[in-house]
């Protein structure tokens, strides 16, 4: 008896929308990612749920979460959809051309030092690549989120990822403006920060990021206080430039400000060093020409103080 392997028409409709809502836990955020209206996303999900025969999401005015059926559906749909996307890209890139959409999940603090120096040049050199930069400080699931790769510091990477070094190790330094230090004085040791105004960084988990200092042969974390809380390194940089408080920022981000005298590094001898920035991707994911093009271009065109 001949087996019928035909996929019913419309079976795959709405899968990408479902996965994006599941990843973002938001219909409006998923709609923004996909470039459609929230009502279009809602109608797509309703149609998918009708075909599945069960609700996939629990919706309230404040949150969106997966139902039990949604979790089971997601567990099977996410890798299957990723496999289809890989198959499409593999066929499209068979000739070795760097083409298609390249989605990179990037920690916010890496956007300025990593992308500012190379963005325009990369887009000019590879006009057939549509580069999507997704700012995200949490360790999102690359496959479920439909990302080709992510960028994080070495300490944040999981062991089952393939990591490609993009930068040399660099320091996180305490910085402020000359005006701030003229007004409030300069801390001589990390413990002096208890008497200073500091900028706190809120994590995606809602906790506050401690400041880390190198104390002899060990690192120590300190909880600091101050008048400003941000959830973004760019916002912290702006706050430091305003002279309102001291911030702790990756040295490459504020290198130009320090060179121009707009900021000054304090507690220099206590600055802790991170392993550097790495591009990472799942070990089972084939490196497509578009991703290889980005890796090679970044290595060749990053500023000398960042280049690996």
Domain extents in the chain? 15-76, 93-168+275-301, 170-274
Structure confidence at residue 1 (pLDDT): 44
Q: Is the dihedral of CA 128, 84, 293, 143 positive or negative?
A: positive
| Mean per-residue pLDDT, 10-31 | 86
Structure confidence at residue 5 (pLDDT): 47
Q: Are 140 and 170 in contact (CB under 8 A)?
A: no
CATH architecture of 170-274: 3-Layer(aba) Sandwich (3.40)
Q: Are 45 and 57 in contact (CB under 8 A)?
A: yes
- Residue 142 φ then ψ, to 5°: -65, -40
Q: Are 267 and 174 in contact (CB under 8 A)?
A: yes
**Rounded to whole angstroms, how far apart are CA atoms 8 and 43?**
20
Contacts of 216 (CB under 8 A, 6+ apart): none
Tell the CATH topology of 93-168+275-301.
D-Maltodextrin-Binding Protein; domain 2 (3.40.190)
What ranges in the chain are assigned the alpha helix state H? 15-24, 27-34, 38-52, 68-92, 119-125, 178-184, 233-241, 251-259, 289-301
**Rounded to whole angstroms, how far apart are CA atoms 59 and 300?**
47
Contacts of 5 (CB under 8 A, 6+ apart): none
Structure confidence at residue 89 (pLDDT): 65
| pLDDT above 90 (res 33) | no
212 φ/ψ sector (left φ>0, alpha ψ -120 to 50, else beta): beta
Instruction: Name the residue with higher pLDDT: 154 or 53.
Output: 53
Rg (alpha carbons) of the chain, rounded to whole number = 23
| Local confidence band at 109 (pLDDT 50, 70, 90 cut-offs) | confident
| pLDDT above 80 (res 212) | yes
Poorest-confidence range of 48-52, 131-135, 160-164?
160-164
**Rounded to whole angstroms, how far apart are CA atoms 236 and 4?**
59
Poorest-confidence range of 8-17, 55-64, 201-210, 218-227?
8-17
Instruction: Name the residue with higher pLDDT: 260 or 169.
Output: 260
Structure confidence at residue 214 (pLDDT): 95
| Mean per-residue pLDDT, 145-166 | 81
Tokens of 237: 């940089």
| Local confidence band at 2 (pLDDT 50, 70, 90 cut-offs) | very low
**Rounded to whole angstroms, how far apart are CA atoms 68 and 157?**
30
Q: Do domains 93-168+275-301 and 170-274 have the same CATH topology?
A: yes
**Rounded to whole angstroms, how far apart are CA atoms 84 and 78?**
10
- Residue 242 φ then ψ, to 5°: -75, -15
So what CATH class is 15-76?
mainly alpha
With a threshold of 0.95, does the pTM exceed it?
Answer: no
Tell me which residue of 74, 17, 3, 22 sits closest to 46, measured CA to CA: 17
| pLDDT above 70 (res 305) | no
| Local confidence band at 78 (pLDDT 50, 70, 90 cut-offs) | confident
Q: How high is the mean pLDDT of the chain? A: 86
User: DSSP class of residue 195?
Assistant: G
User: DSSP class of residue 267?
Assistant: S
Q: Are 201 and 236 in contact (CB under 8 A)?
A: yes
């Amino acid at each position: 008896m001949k087996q019928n392997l035909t996929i019913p028409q419309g079976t795959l409709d709405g899968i990408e929308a479902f996965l994006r809502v599941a990843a973002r836990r938001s219909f409006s955020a998923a709609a923004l990612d996909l470039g459609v209206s929230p009502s279009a996303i809602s109608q797509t999900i309703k149609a998918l749920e009708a075909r599945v025969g069960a609700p996939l999401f629990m919706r309230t005015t404040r949150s969106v979460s997966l139902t039990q059926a949604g979790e089971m559906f997601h567990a099977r749909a996410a890798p299957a959809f990723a496999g289809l996307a890989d198959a499409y890209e593999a066929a499209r890139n068979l000739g070795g051309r760097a083409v298609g959409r390249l989605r990179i999940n990037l920690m916010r603090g890496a956007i300025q030092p990593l992308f500012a120096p190379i963005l325009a040049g990369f887009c000019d050199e590879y006009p057939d690549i549509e580069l999507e930069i997704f700012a995200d400080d949490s360790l999102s699931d690359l496959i479920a989120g439909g990302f080709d790769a992510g960028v994080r510091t070495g300490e944040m990477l999981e062991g089952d990822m393939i990591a490609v070094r993009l930068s040399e190790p660099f320091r996180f330094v305490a910085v402020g403006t000359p005006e701030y230090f003229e007004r409030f004085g300069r801390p001589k040791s990390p413990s002096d920060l208890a008497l200073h105004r500091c900028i706190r960084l809120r994590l995606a988990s809602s906790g506050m990021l401690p400041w880390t200092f190198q104390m002899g042969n060990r690192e120590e974390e300190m909880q600091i206080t101050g008048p400003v809380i941000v959830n973004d390194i760019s916002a912290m940089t702006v706050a430091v430039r305003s002279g309102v408080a001291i911030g702790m920022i990756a040295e490459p981000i504020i290198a130009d400000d320090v060179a121009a005298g707009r900021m000054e590094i304090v507690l220099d001898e206590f600055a802790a060093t991170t392993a550097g920035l790495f591009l990472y991707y799942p070990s089972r994911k084939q490196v497509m020409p578009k991703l290889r093009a980005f890796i090679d271009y970044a290595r060749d065109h990053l500023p000398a103080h960042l280049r690996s």
